[in-house]
Amino acid sequence: MSETGVLERERRTAPAAALRCEGITKAFQGVHAVNGAAFDVPAEQITALIGPNGAGKTTLVNILSGAMTSDSGREFIGETEVTNWPSYKIARLGLFRTFQLSRELGRLTVLENLLVAPAEQAGDSLVNVLFRPALIRRQERAHAERALDVLDVYGLYRHRDTLARELSGGQKKLLEIARAVMASPTILLLDEPMAGVNPALIDLIGGYIVDLKERGVTVLMVEHNLNVVEQICDYVIVLAEGRTLATGRLSELRENTEVVKAYLGEVIDAGAAH
């Protein structure tokens, strides 16, 4: 593995808030899914986005990553305003996301899935394909070597030539994260990375996420499993009824009556277990 490891990117000094949003609203046919969400996501930390079902978390992830447009509000990555930018432009700034139900590129191999991710692809240009095949060959080999390293770390190396649609559910989850990692993200939005995953795998994925943070990635993860939140998250944002209810560390939020009410006992149970 090369010096900078699987991320192939130098550790940058990041601004205090890597990702910021204010006043985000989004309604579907008159029903507000998001109704005034605003928060700062601190750089190079793992932040959890929690809240009861229907709080608008996935919609917010879609908006922040550019998959959906907001009705109002603003969004910033660092100092750049990216309000309602299309997802591919936001991705080019370094923000990548995973999906709640893993979306693999089914008819591509596992390795090819990863090879789609890196930003520099001279081979996407027709001119290069026709006139600079050697350059492309070199770049492809470099990307492929790194991709195989990533697959190795995520335990998918032996499936490198398998069609992605033939993987098991847990493997698809791992592929989803590996693919995002391959893109060398500065900010990573994870939409319920532990959903439907068996306990051994939860620990494994948790370890990967912490590893990413230590390499300088800012992580925002939507998560229902408060044990996981307690174990790996530095900071928590609580969303309820489409707006930011509270932010802070999990221990503080347990004392917050509004948060407790919103969860109707979930938080209390998780606290009692420790």
Partner 1 sequence: MVYYVFTLVFFCFDYFILAMGLNIQYGETGILNFAYIGFVAIGAYFTGVFSLHNPAGTGQHYILGLGLPFPLNLLLGGLATMVFALIVALITLRRLRTDYLAIVLISLSLVLYDFCNNFVSLFNGADGLYNVPEPFAKALGLDVNSFIPFFACVTAVISLLMWFVMSRVTRAPIGRTFRAIRDDEVVAAALGKNVFGMRLKSMLIGSFYAGIGGGLLIQFGGSFNPTAWLPGETFVVFAVVIVGGAGNNIGMFVGALLVETLLIHLPAFLPEIPGHPGLIEYFDNAVVGVVLMVMLWVRPQGVVPARLRRAASFGVSPRSDVEPDLNLAVPAHE
Residues near partner 1 (CB under 8 A) are 65-67, 86-88, 91-92, 96-97, 99, 103-109, 111-112, 115-117, 119, 121-126, 129-130, 133, 136-137, 140-141, 144-145, 148, 152, 154-155, 157-158, 160-161, 163, 179, 183, 200, 203-204, 206-207, 210, 230-232
CA–CA distance, 75 with 41 (Å, rounded to integer): 11
CA–CA distance, 231 with 210 (Å, rounded to integer): 10
Between residues 245 and 267, which has the closer beta carbon with respect to partner 1? 267
CA–CA distance, 195 with 101 (Å, rounded to integer): 9
| Cβ-contact 37, 73 below 8 angstroms | yes
- Residue 10 Cβ vs partner 1, minimum distance, rounded to whole Å: 20
Between residues 42 and 66, which has the closer beta carbon with respect to partner 1? 66
| Cβ-contact 82, 90 below 8 angstroms | yes
| Cβ-contact 255, 248 below 8 angstroms | no
- Residue 38 Cβ vs partner 1, minimum distance, rounded to whole Å: 24
Between residues 217 and 262, which has the closer beta carbon with respect to partner 1? 217
- Residue 40 Cβ vs partner 1, minimum distance, rounded to whole Å: 21
Look-up: residue for tokens 């009692």? 272
Between residues 54 and 207, which has the closer beta carbon with respect to partner 1? 207
Strands 17-28 and 95-97, by their bridges, are unpaired
- Residue 192 Cβ vs partner 1, minimum distance, rounded to whole Å: 16
Write the DSSP symbol of residue 114.
H
Write the DSSP symbol of residue 125.
S
Between residues 18 and 230, which has the closer beta carbon with respect to partner 1? 230
- Residue 65 Cβ vs partner 1, minimum distance, rounded to whole Å: 6
